[in-house]
Amino acid sequence: MSAIYPLVMCGGVGMRLWPLSRLNTPKQFHRIGPDSSLTFFQATVERHGGEGFHAPYVSVGMRYEDVVRDQLAAIGRSAELMIEPTARRTGPAVLASAIAINERDPGALMAVLPSDHLIEGDFSGVLLKMRPPAADGRIVLFGIEPAYPEVGYGYIVDSGPSALYPGARDVSHFIEKPARPIAERLIAEGHAYWASGVSLFRVDVLMAEYQRLDPDTFAAVSEAVRNAGRKPGRTELCEAHFRRAHGEATESVVFEHSDKVLLAPAAISWSDVGSWRSLYEIGDKDGDGNVLSGHVVPVDTSNSYVRASSGRLVATVGVDNLAIVDTEDALLVTSLDRTQDVRMVLEALKSRGTAAGEVAEPLERPVRSGDGYGVYALDIRPGEVVALAPLKDEHRVLTVCAGAVELEGGSEIGRKWPGETVRVAAGSACRLRNGGGEPARLVEVRHAVTPVVPLGVPVQARPRMVSGGEAK
């Protein structure tokens, strides 16, 4: 049986997990949990990296290309990167990879895999068992038996067992993000499954369905692949053609209108980690039904999710059914029943002209100062770029303690690793970019500009830097 090409989708931002997931640091590049060594993205690649699978394709925007490369290198994996020049939702990205794979391996099997889901169980085994129907030209959609009436998921309703493929079921219809009463009815009837977002098909079958259902997008994406910039391991789609594709999901364009779809129930533990409510549902609960993370003191608190990520103490008294998430620069408090509406906060911030996820100034925390020097700690989040403004009377020496940073501008360029230093002369600016998946921490020493002093002059007479950085 043919091996499967995994296509790992890395384009989402996961803004319903704000303030943890940001534009520069989407959830797929965060560690799964405090005790995990893998990020969501790395776990997805590892999960489908054994026998029966080819090396993966990764569909990613330019913003996150370096993060993807760093995280792949960290687990010793290689991949073919499909670079999206502009965001067009999942449909065009999936189609572009299908076309590229079909060029090298006509009629190959491809599995579409979101990079930000939490999965426990032998999902690879479930995929491999569904190769026969996919090889026969069916589009296999993987469904999860619902654990509760989630209103933020799509549902696949089945119409009974497949007569041809053991373990598969025929599809009746789709329901996208139903109201709670409808979700409760679907679960009570027992014929609906959460849509996992994972699918398996022959690449030429998807291409034919796109050509039938959305010929304009098929033509645009075909030209984007044909005119792509290519290097070993990297295909950058042509923006002029790619932007003409309709920005729709594969589900709405193809799956919901195709007679080739087939449902494969997957007996695994699954969550798309799409909201704080979903994290609460899968979390380990204490005796009062709370999921707690970080320095939290709950008093008379029940059925709540409390996450202290800032290092500060978070104390709660007399609360129930809340999600409380404290980060370094933002605090979210919401009812667990409204966590799908976190996007409304971002819309409100946008309307006020406030950035929802960018840090405009570097966060330099004073550590110590004395005669002629000042010491600061500088943290840079994954994907973040900070600009160090020029200092008129002070030189800077920065030492990388954790993570890695890329220098942009200034007298030095290139990547710096732990133990290496960056020197920024007085009057010079510097930009530091953290292109990895881990926070970068630097120690910055500033020292005053001093003239050359003859050896005979006492130290006390030399210029020194006092509090605030003024040389005297």
Of 109-113, 116-120, 183-187, 327-331, minimum mean pLDDT range: 327-331
CA angle 46, 268, 127 (to 5 degrees): 60
Q: Would you state the torsion angle of the CA atoms of residues 20, 22, 26, 31, taken in this order, to the nearest 10 degrees?
A: -30
| Residues 428, 444: Cα–Cα separation, whole Å | 15
pLDDT tens digits along 396-414: 899 999 888 888 655 566 7
**What is the SS3 assignment for 14?**
coil
Sheet of 440-448: strand order equals: 363-370, 373-380, 440-448, 394-402, 421-424
Range among 73-87, 96-110, 457-471 with highest mean pLDDT value: 96-110
CA-based torsion, 43, 45, 50, 51: positive or negative: positive
Which run of H or of E encompasses 238? none
| 273 against 200, higher pLDDT | 200
Band (79; pLDDT cuts 50, 70, 90): very high
* 347-350 long-range contacts, CB within 8 A, separation 24+: none
Extended strands (E) in 10-114? 57-61, 80-84, 109-114
pLDDT tens digits along 233-271: 999 999 999 999 999 999 999 999 999 999 999 988 888
What pTM was computed for the model? 0.71
Q: Output the pLDDT for position 1.
A: 76
| 44 against 62, higher pLDDT | 44
Q: Output the pLDDT for position 163.
A: 94
In the chain the first and final C-alpha atoms are separated, in Å, by 78
Mean pLDDT of 154-161: 94
Q: Output the pLDDT for position 413.
A: 67
Q: Output the pLDDT for position 457.
A: 45
CA-based torsion, 409, 414, 418, 424: positive or negative: negative
| 197: its two tokens | 């977002």
| Residues 285, 200: Cα–Cα separation, whole Å | 35
Mean pLDDT of 27-32: 81
Which residue, among 259, 249, 260, 252, has the nearest Cα to 95 in the 3D structure? 249
Q: Is 70 exceeded by the pLDDT of residue 378?
A: yes
Q: Output the pLDDT for position 466.
A: 40
Q: Is 80 exceeded by the pLDDT of residue 10?
A: yes
Of 75-79, 176-180, 330-334, 466-470, minimum mean pLDDT range: 466-470
| 382 against 444, higher pLDDT | 444
Q: What is the mean pLDDT of the chain?
A: 86
Domains of the chain: 4-274 (3.90.550.10), 277-351 (no CATH), 363-461 (2.60.120.10)
Q: Output the pLDDT for position 193.
A: 94
CA-based torsion, 208, 213, 215, 218: positive or negative: negative
Mean pLDDT of 302-322: 92
Q: Output the pLDDT for position 24.
A: 67
Q: Output the pLDDT for position 471.
A: 40
pLDDT tens digits along 439-463: 889 999 988 876 544 444 454 444 4
